[in-house]
Structure 1
Amino acid sequence: MTNLKRVIGFKTSAWTSPDNGNTYPVRRLYVDYPAAEVTGLACSVVKCRGDKIFDGVEVGDYVELLYDQYGNCCAVQPVVAEQQDLIDFGVDIASE
């Protein structure tokens, strides 16, 4: 099993602090991935940092996620999936 994820969606919105009234960007990445003891694929919502974190990322892309010291995703790197990765994701490689 690799650390590879597949993008199934993303969202950018804003949150306003009730304490100080400041507005902060909120970015969420929705991914699925093969996981041990899961029938089918597991999925997660990943909180992300950075204004341009989704630049160059499309739904359906395979990506690796990099995290900062606070556990926030700070980079989304598109990668080319290997044949075994595609099999792990349940892609019918015979029709590819």
Structure 2
Amino acid sequence: MTTEQHTQEIDAAAIEKDLLVFLEAKTKTAVEPSRELFASGLVSSMFAMELVVHLEKEYGISIVGTDLRLDNFRTVERMTELVLRLSGADGKADGA
């Protein structure tokens, strides 16, 4: 599957499911999409880099600059929004 094909198939439900499976496998804990991952102590700030690498590889996106804020990784919902925005799947043009 090419990156272009993969990006076209991205939707919020699929991203959320992928992230929940990834987090549950890594933490051995059930995770709700709105759970505060860092504030709850489920994951550490060091784990944030693993999340960045996972998202970049899985969705063919680059997370750099201001997108590397911890706020973008606090919940599965926030990470889903980030992926949609960076992949252009949220319906907005870059810089909009």
Is the structural similarity TM-score above 0.5? no
Asked which structure has the greater RCO (Cα within 8 Å, sep 6+), the reply is 2
Higher helix share: 2
> Quick check: which one's strand share is greater?
1
TM-score between the two structures when normalised by the length of structure 1: 0.25
